[in-house]
Amino acid sequence: MSGNIELLNTTLAAAKAADRAALIAYLPAGFPTVDGGIEAVKAVVAGGADIVEVGLPHSDPVLDGPVIQTADDIALRGGVRIADVMRTVREAHEATGVPILVMTYWNPVDRYGVERFTAELAEAGGAGCILPDLPVQESALWREHAEKHGLATVFVVAPSSRDARLATITAAGSGFVYAASLMGVTGTRASVGAQAQNLVERTRATTDTPVCVGLGVSDAAQAAEVAGFADGVIVGSAFVKAMLDAPDEAAGLAAVRSLAGELAEGVRKR
């Protein structure tokens, strides 16, 4: 069965045709529970998210700040497994019809088996993977199987990436390029940072693939700012924090749906 890279491509193209950026939401699988995580994905899509990244909880999340680390810890203590991540992708995609990617560090994929992981993700209706710690020069095996199964391979670029390095990364990736707005870990911030626009411009000089910005976006004003120069706005910690701060799961779902609605309005005010 083929994955949904084409759905991802057409979703990003449709947002561009509507003269706006796409809203991409991140939520970890298994948080607060597996069922609760699936409901959270449905809630952000109901609020206005165009694309969802489902995080594969990891014990050493080098790119993630304390908010997502806390959620990952809750999911891991709850016993979440890769099978639960695949179930989250399958049920959330069937319920919403939007492209759903998995964001994961390389070690769990490597241990699970690249062929097995890509085949199962495609069968679940996944659109691809974001692999923040997989070096491009070591990615040939992953890309071979991802392409075979119709999955996007999304690499992360940073303000420190030199132009030649950007060209190498964008030539190897597909779906979109994940531009980290600043040097650091995920988390909500008062300002997204001027480095982000420069990074998007330098990345666009190397590719026609959409460039989406993440790290630090937490409200409608920041979403509107980033939407002014990026093809997509990625929000994760703000959604997770809304769930963590809620007194119960129902309130958490209402909070993430409301936040998605505000952010969706923001990306339309670019």
Distance between CA 137 and CA 172 in Å, rounded?
9
Distance between CA 76 and CA 165 in Å, rounded?
35
Active site residue 53: yes
Distance between CA 144 and CA 114 in Å, rounded?
10
Active-site residue, selected from the candidate residues 53, 72, 120, 225: 53
Active site residue 64: yes
Distance between CA 175 and CA 100 in Å, rounded?
12
Element (H, E) at 179: strand 177-180
**257 and 46 Cβ atoms separated by less than 8 Å:** yes
CA neighbor of 153 nearest in space, from 119, 130, 133: 130
Active-site residue, selected from the candidate residues 39, 50, 64, 231: 64
Sheet holding 100-103, edge to edge: 152-154, 128-130, 100-103, 51-55, 22-28, 232-235, 211-214, 177-180, 156-157
Both structure tokens of 143 = 């890309």
Q: What does R_g of the chain's alpha carbons equal in angstroms?
A: 17
Q: Which residues are catalytic?
A: 53, 64
